[in-house]
Amino acid sequence: MSDNAGWCLIESDPGVFTGLIRELGVSGAQVEELWSLDTTMFNSIKPVHGLIFLFRWMGQEQVEEPIVNDSRIEKIFFAQQVINNACATQAILSVLFNTCHPDIDLGSTLTEFKEFSQKFDANMKGLALSNSQKIRAVHNSFGRSNSIFEFDDGGKSKSRSDEAFHFVAIVPIDGHLYELDGLKEGPIDLGVISPNTDWVDSAKPFIEKRILQYKEGEVHFNLMAVVSDRKQILQKQLLDLLANENLSEEIKSSEEEKLRAKIVNEEDKMRRYRIENARRKHNYLPLIVEILKLLAKDGKLVPLYERAKAKSLEKEKQKLMN
């Protein structure tokens, strides 16, 4: 996709998001998918720097918590969403730009953008993001390459809430918890984080509240966390273990085996992510066209089309009956 094109939809997937931030030049971070709000789950991926929550957009909702409009706004990087399809990348950047942790290095591209736009208001930050060719090019590189099949059906009137999905970020900043939603006027103050507690414990009630908005059995949401590079964390734990002279050789050997197995699992996961992302980016259109040509040449294309059409109509009929 050219630099002059818009922002395409990208898949909500930890492999996509991890690949995206690394291609933007970020080191020391990755994205993990969360299957529950269980404390054990969060403990296994510490430190957690921010949460990215995807949900089905059901129209503008009344904000119960206060929107920040005082001096705190100067310390919070918040950009309004002024472009379509960019909310995933914007939510990720909202976490990264508001994280100050020794594990994470933003790299030159994001550091320069943050410094350039830091003094802008929320709308100007959003405009600056929309016009960043580097960030847009990396974002679009994770879109499906066969975009010829993505089109708007002009025969159907669509509302914004018709199966539209949206991303928001939840981050801790200076002892407060904030929701950063590019569709809002500013950061939403979710309250003070209780002293001597993990900030994610303060975030759980707000996530649970959103989930309860959907009917039982509906899966219209997804939760991911921006965390430190898991392999680097495990390697540091391994070095600390080997340097510990207070443990018996039996315990040390057992723990070493566990850590090395976890490191191998992380390496396998990143290798799988690279393969999956390469497949996402590959353009299968020429192959599809050649297959269609061969089917047409053998006189099989039209019969296959008619059978597929009949099946589709039958499915629609069954839906109406149910």
Split the chain (322 residues) into runs of 10 and give each run's mean pLDDT: 65 94 97 93 95 81 80 93 89 96 96 95 94 94 64 43 78 96 93 93 91 69 94 97 93 96 97 93 88 93 92 87 72
For residue 211, what pLDDT is reported? 82
For residue 69, what pLDDT is reported? 87
For residue 215, what pLDDT is reported? 64
Provide the CA 36 distance to its chain's centre, in angstroms.
16
Q: How far apart are CA 277 and CA 267, in angstroms?
A: 15
Angstrom CA distances, 89 to 234, 251, 284, stand at: 27, 43, 25
For residue 4, what pLDDT is reported? 41
| Both tokens assigned to 18 | 């991890």
For residue 134, what pLDDT is reported? 95
In degrees, to the nearest 5, what angle opens at C-alpha 185 toward C-alphas 3 and 13? Answer: 50
DSSP-derived 3-state class of residue 102 = coil
Q: What are phi and psi of 152, to 5 degrees?
A: -95, 135
User: Which residues are known catalytic residues?
Assistant: 87, 166
For residue 217, what pLDDT is reported? 59
The fold of 14-228 is Ubiquitin C-terminal Hydrolase UCH-l3 (3.40.532)
* Count of CA atoms in the C-beta half-sphere (13 A) of 50: 28
For residue 317, what pLDDT is reported? 84
Note whether 176 and 192 are within 8 A (CB).
yes
For residue 159, what pLDDT is reported? 44
Residue type, 315: K
For residue 290, what pLDDT is reported? 93
| Both tokens assigned to 199 | 């900030």
